[in-house]
């Protein structure tokens, strides 16, 4: 099965950084740690930013906590997963120029639309390319200093190893990458360069591309000092959080569909060929095993439930459990209350400027349990809308493995099973992205004894599903089908452009 020794997997998410230590021989997760953070507050509407130092500090805290329980000398590899698409702008000395614009930043919608026209295909808002153009247009003094473009996990790898690299999975979320050919797309790079009136080619800003079983490097002296690790520990390529999550949930072979309820909601599966959506709604990403990862991403998932929970002061794990119990007592459909969950705008459907709406309020509707359930239902119905698109593209979604923070909620698991009309199974390790990074680290280094490209074998051996599966309940499936039709009609009605017939 796996090799010997322990690996660390780190996942730099939007709401926090999570880490774990994996015993490669037994598959046991020995210790977990996490550190949470938020977005920078007070920015212009649509802007979603974090300073990379926030990720660095959280990663330091997480690694330090992990190493309280295990001897650093036993660590044979480390792998880093990160939120996709974030634009980390670096100057010639490798210093961060300004905070990173994140995957959920919709302030660059104009630039995304302009690039879509130039590229001749839809560039979803949130992809890195539009953020680079935004910098050139809005902060020319920062753009003039731009010497390197990294993605969040690349930047943490850089802090560990002193080397800048990118790999195909995360690179396919830049909008500057041809996932079919697994290389940067020269036409897109040229078009972006022209629009930026760039003094240098955009290609020069990008680091070398490495393969999925290559090492990003080894922990260097600075990295060792920063993180308390031993110098020389191999650092695997790492990848986007969805690519790492695919490994950590066993979606390294066809037929396993994964849904993730994190800040974003995603649904993805392994494919042996690229699956290209002509409308560009389902992303044709590369995965981190040499295959592909057709992926649906919606921008509104746990951010919406968190908004309701915190608005009513249901703090901490106890508060979450209490508001969930109250939501369980509310009937399906929330007595007519519908939550259009677009607090962050939306990528699928393509409504970057949409806002959230609460519809159908009556006296008594503004109760925490009602609104929390409405948030669970609204986010799930929205995700199901995108899943229909996946099914139409020939991706069967018959059973689902559920990961991410929201997977901890039995109520959400039931709602999703009913809304998707598919059995939903949680995994023994819900932090699938951190687990996937740790598994990849076990396959990419010389000291583990595992051959490169053994990711599928190791993932299939180590990933365990939870004992119970949540089955869809036929009556609820039928009810949610009706609610889904009404939900979509309301979304189109509420978000219709001014002057259109349904406005």
Ligand X SMILES: O=C(CO)[C@@H](O)[C@H](O)COP(=O)(O)O
Ligand Y SMILES: Nc1ncnc2c1ncn2[C@@H]1O[C@H](COP(=O)(O)OP(=O)(O)O)[C@@H](O)[C@H]1O
Q: Does 242 bind ligand X (CB under 6 A)?
A: yes
3-state secondary structure 237-286: CCEEHHHHHHHHCCCCCCCCEEEEECCCEEEEECECCCCCCCCCCCEEEE
Other C-beta atoms closer than 10 Å to the C-beta of 199 total 9
Instruction: Tell me if 52 sits within 8 A of 155, measured CB to CB.
Output: yes
Which among 231-239, 270-278, 283-291, 299-307 is the span making contact with ligand Y, rule CB under 6 A? 299-307
Among 179, 262, 274, 294, binds ligand Y (CB under 6 A): 262
Tell me the CA end-to-end span of the chain in Å, nearest whole number.
59
Q: Does 241 bind ligand X (CB under 6 A)?
A: yes
Instruction: Tell me if 152 sits within 8 A of 82, measured CB to CB.
Output: yes
Binding mask 107-126 for ligand Y (x = CB under 6 A): --------------------
Among 55, 87, 103, 372, binds ligand X (CB under 6 A): 103
- Nearest CB to ligand Y, comparing residues 213 and 432: 432
Q: Let me know how long the chain is.
A: 503
Binding mask 311-330 for ligand Y (x = CB under 6 A): ---------x---x------
Give the CA distances from residue 230 to residues 160, 448, 449, in Å, rounded to whole numbers and listed in that order. 11, 16, 19
Q: Does 111 bind ligand X (CB under 6 A)?
A: no
Instruction: Tell me if 12 sits within 8 A of 55, measured CB to CB.
Output: yes
Contacts of 379 (CB under 8 A, 6+ apart): 261, 265, 298, 300, 301, 304, 305, 339, 341
Q: Does 269 bind ligand X (CB under 6 A)?
A: no
Is 220 catalytic? The answer is no
Which among 8-16, 43-51, 184-192, 229-237 is the span making contact with ligand Y, rule CB under 6 A? 8-16
Q: Does 99 bind ligand Y (CB under 6 A)?
A: no
Residue 430 DSSP code: S
Q: Does 284 bind ligand X (CB under 6 A)?
A: no
293: part of which helix (H) or strand (E)? strand 292-298
What is the CA 149 to chain-centroid distance, rounded? 19
| Least Cβ distance, residue 302 to ligand X (angstroms) | 8
The residues in 401-420 that bind ligand Y, with binding defined as CB under 6 A, are 404-406, 408-409, 412
Q: How far apart are CA 154 and CA 140, in angstroms?
A: 24
Give me the catalytic one of 11, 154, 170, 241: 241
- Nearest CB to ligand X, comparing residues 104 and 233: 104
Instruction: Tell me if 323 sits within 8 A of 368, measured CB to CB.
Output: yes
Residues that bind ligand X (CB under 6 A): 13-14, 83-85, 103, 126, 173, 240-242, 262-264, 266, 283, 297
Would you name the residues annotated as active-site residues? 241
Residues that bind ligand Y (CB under 6 A): 13-16, 262-263, 302, 305-306, 320, 324, 404-406, 408-409, 412
């Amino acid at each position: 099965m796996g090799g010997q020794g322990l690996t660390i997997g780190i996942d730099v998410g939007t709401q926090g950084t999570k880490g774990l230590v994996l015993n490669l021989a037994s598959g046991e997760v020995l210790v977990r740690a996490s550190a949470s953070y938020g977005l920078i507050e007070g920015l212009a509407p649509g802007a979603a930013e974090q300073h990379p130092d926030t990720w660095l500090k959280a990663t330091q805290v997480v690694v330090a906590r992990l190493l309280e329980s295990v001897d650093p000398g036993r660590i044979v590899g480390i792998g880093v997963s990160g939120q996709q698409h974030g634009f980390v702008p670096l100057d010639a000395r490798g210093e961060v120029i300004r905070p990173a614009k994140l995957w959920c930043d919709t302030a660059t919608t104009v630039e995304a639309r302009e690039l879509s026209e130039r590229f001749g295909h839809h560039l979803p808002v949130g992809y890195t390319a539009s953020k680079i153009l935004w910098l050139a247009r809005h902060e020319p003094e920062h753009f003039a200093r731009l010497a390197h473009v990294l993605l969040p996990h690349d930047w943490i790898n850089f802090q560990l190893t002193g080397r800048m690299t990118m790999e195909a999975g995360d690179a396919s979320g830049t909008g500057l990458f041809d996932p079919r050919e697994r290389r940067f797309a020269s036409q897109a790079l040229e078009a972006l360069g022209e629009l930026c009136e760039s003094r240098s080619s955009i290609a020069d800003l990008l680091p070398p591309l490495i393969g999925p079983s290559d090492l990003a490097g080894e922990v260097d002296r600075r990295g060792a000092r920063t993180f308390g690790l031993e110098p020389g520990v191999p650092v695997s390529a790492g990848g986007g959080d969805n690519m790492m999550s695919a490994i950590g949930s066993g979606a390294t072979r066809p037929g396993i569909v994964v849904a993730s309820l994190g800040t974003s909601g995603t649904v993805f599966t392994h494919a042996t060929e690229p699956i290209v959506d002509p409308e560009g709604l389902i992303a044709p990403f590369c995965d981190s095993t040499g295959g592909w990862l057709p992926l649906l991403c919606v921008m509104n998932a746990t951010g919406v439930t968190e908004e309701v929970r915190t608005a009513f002061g249901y703090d901490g794990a106890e508060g979450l459990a209490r508001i969930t119990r109250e939501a369980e007592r509310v009937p399906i459909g929330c007595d007519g209350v519908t939550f259009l969950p677009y607090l962050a705008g939306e990528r699928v459907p393509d409504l970057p400027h949409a806002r959230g709406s609460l519809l159908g309020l009556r006296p008594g509707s503004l109760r925490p349990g009602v609104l929390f359930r409405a948030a669970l239902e609204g986010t799930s119905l929205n995700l199901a809308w995108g899943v229909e698109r996946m099914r139409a593209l020939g991706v069967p979604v018959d059973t689902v493995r559920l990961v991410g923070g929201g997977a901890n909620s039995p109520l959400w698991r039931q709602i999703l099973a009913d809304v998707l009309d598919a059995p939903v199974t949680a995994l023994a390790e819900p932090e699938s992205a951190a687990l996937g990074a740790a598994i990849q680290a076990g396959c990419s280094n010389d000291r583990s004894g595992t051959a490169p490209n053994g990711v599928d074998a190791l993932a299939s051996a180590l990933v365990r599903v939870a004992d119970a599966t949540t089955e869809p309940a036929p009556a609820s499936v039928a009810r949610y089908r009706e609610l889904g039709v009404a939900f979509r009609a309301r979304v189109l009605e509420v978000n219709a452009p001014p002057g259109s017939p349904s406005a």
